[in-house]
Amino acid sequence: MKAALALLRRDIALAFREGGAIGVALGFYLVVVAIAPFGLGPDMNLLARVAPGLLWIALLLAALLSADRIFHNDYEDGSLDVLAMGPLPLAAVAASKSLAHWVTTCVPLALLAPVLGLLLNFPIDAIPILVLAMLVGTPAVSFIAGIGASLTLGLRRSGLLLALLVLPLYVPVLIFGVSTISAAVTGPGSPWPPFLMLCAISLASMVLAPLAAAAALRNSFR
């Protein structure tokens, strides 16, 4: 536990001091949302209606952008081999690295979402539930990305392959994430049932995904 926390702290510190990746993900999020009105037309009512889905899709794409870096740097410089031989179970290594991705990428993206929501005429009183749904749903995003990143470790064009492998698995997160926000904005019904489903998806992937990622990592060492 202590070792996993130390690893988590190290990865977060590295990501923040390096800086680049977080900035690129945030910039990408801004650009995708900013070009959407050029494609859809500047009708504010239409934008308000598509805002929940658009914000979620742009968030998934932006989170994917940095996903192949979850294990890549440590794989390149050999520290992943050291971690694999160390006392910490490989599943715990995978979990800690996915969690670091969540803290350094998904949390900033979720916190940027209200600003982008204003651009899309998203109702201000629904912003707390927008951020809450994104904070609760994105652990699933990071942990599933961890599976994809470990499967494509060391491959050429791994980023493209990662998107093809991982995006279909994001469909449940997208469905329940968007329906939570839509229910809060327009109804009908309460936003809490889809919100609880979102929690369940996140919790399940936090438990199961590190096992799959660890198996994939072990495979890439052989």
Partner 1 sequence: MTFSLTNLANPSRFLTFAGAVIPWLAALTVILLGIGLYQAFFVAPTDYQQGETVRIMYIHVPAAWVGMGCYAVIAIAALGTLIWRHPLADVAAKAAAPIGATFTFVILVTGSLWGKPMWGTYWVWDARLTSLLVLFLLYLGLIALWQSIEDPGRAGRAAAILALVGAVNLPIIKFSVDWWNTLHQPASVFRAGGPTIDPALLTPLFVMGGAFLALFVLLHLIAMRAEILRRRVRVLQQTQVAQAALS
Footprint of partner 1 (CB under 8 A): 147, 151-152, 155-157, 161, 164-165, 167-169, 171, 209, 212, 215-216, 219-220, 222
Least distance from partner 1 to the Cβ atom of residue 209, Å: 8
Do 120 and 48 touch, CB atoms closer than 8 A? yes
- Min CB(155)–partner 1 separation in Å: 5
Please tell me the distance from the alpha carbon of residue 100 to that of residue 209, in angstroms, as a whole number.
Answer: 15
Cβ contact 8:93 at 8 Å? no
Quote the DSSP letter at residue 157: T
Q: Which is nearer to partner 1, 119 or 215 (CB)?
A: 215
Q: Please give the biggest Cα pair distance in the chain.
A: 57
Nearer to partner 1, 46 or 175 (CB): 175
Q: How many C-alpha atoms does 140 have within 13 Å on its Cβ side?
A: 24
Q: Which is nearer to partner 1, 80 or 212 (CB)?
A: 212
Give the nearest distance from C-beta 164 to partner 1 in angstroms.
5
Measured from the CB atom, the residue of 15 and 64 that comes closer to partner 1 is 64
Distance CA 141, CA 79 (A): 25
Q: How many CB atoms lie within 10 A of CB 91?
A: 17
* Least gap, CB of 105 to partner 1 (angstroms): 21
Measured from the CB atom, is 8 or 215 closer to partner 1? Answer: 215
What's the closest the beta carbon of residue 175 comes to partner 1, in angstroms? Answer: 9
- Per DSSP, the chain holds a count of helices (H) and strands (E) of 11, 0
- Judge contact between 145 and 63, C-beta under 8 A: yes
Residue 177 CB, nearest distance to partner 1 (Å)? 16
Which of 92, 38, 100 has its CA nearest to residue 67? 100
Smallest distance, Å, CB 134 to partner 1? 22
Is 34 or 207 the residue whose CB approaches partner 1 more closely? Answer: 207
- CB nearer to partner 1: give 16 or 221: 221
Structure tokens belonging to residue 100:
């670091």
Helix axis angle, 69-76 relative to 127-151, nearest 10°?
Answer: 40
